[in-house]
Structures are given as C-alpha cells and as structure tokens.
Amino acid sequence: MNIHGKFGELVGDMSASFKSGDEAFEYDFNLKGSVFHDRLLRIDYIDKVQSSIHFGVMMFMLDGFGRSLKGHFVAYGVQTEEIITGVVSLEKMP
C-alpha cells in the first residue's frame, strides 16, 4: 500500500492477493481518502480495471504511537458477488 497526502486528503494505490481453493487472485486498487481529528482515516478503494466491479471502504484508527492502523473494511467482492466485511491491521515499515 502506498499512500501520500496533504491537508488531510490521501491518494495512493494498493495491491491485494488471496487464494480460493487452488486459484490465486491478485488485484490492484486506486485509493482516495481523508484524515479526521489527526487519528481517524477513511480510505475508499476501487479496482484499477474499470470493467471489474470491485470496490470498498476502509476505516482506521491510528494508535497512540503513530505506528499502526487498525480498523475494518466493507466491500463488494468481485469473486463472491456479495458484500463482504473484515478486519484490517497495518503496521508502519521501518
């Protein structure tokens, strides 16, 4: 995940991969988001392949040390063709 920002607005991209049975899937997303009260983040993401219906939103809270983000996502899953949810945790790389 690569995120850059100014004045509380964020832009970037991310890659995600997962396995379902014997099949492996990889996706690339464009990101756009905002920072609220210096520690809450909302990041919307959408598949870079415009013909793919794969998008969602992540909500995070920054820890008190500024090193990790913990939160949840809700999305439309292109493989499941359903709304999916889950937990997300990100750690700052040294």
In DSSP terms, 56 is beta-bridged to 45, 75
What's the rounded Cα separation, in Å, for the pair 48 and 18? 17
Task: Output the tens digit of pLDDT for each of the chain's 94 residues.
Answer: 888 888 779 999 999 888 878 989 899 999 999 999 989 999 999 999 988 889 999 999 999 988 999 999 999 988 888 999 999 998 887 7
What's the rounded Cα separation, in Å, for the pair 29 and 48? 5
pTM: 0.82
Q: Where are the domains of the chain?
A: 2-91
**Token pair recorded at residue 19:** 């396995």
* 54 DSSP 8-state letter: -
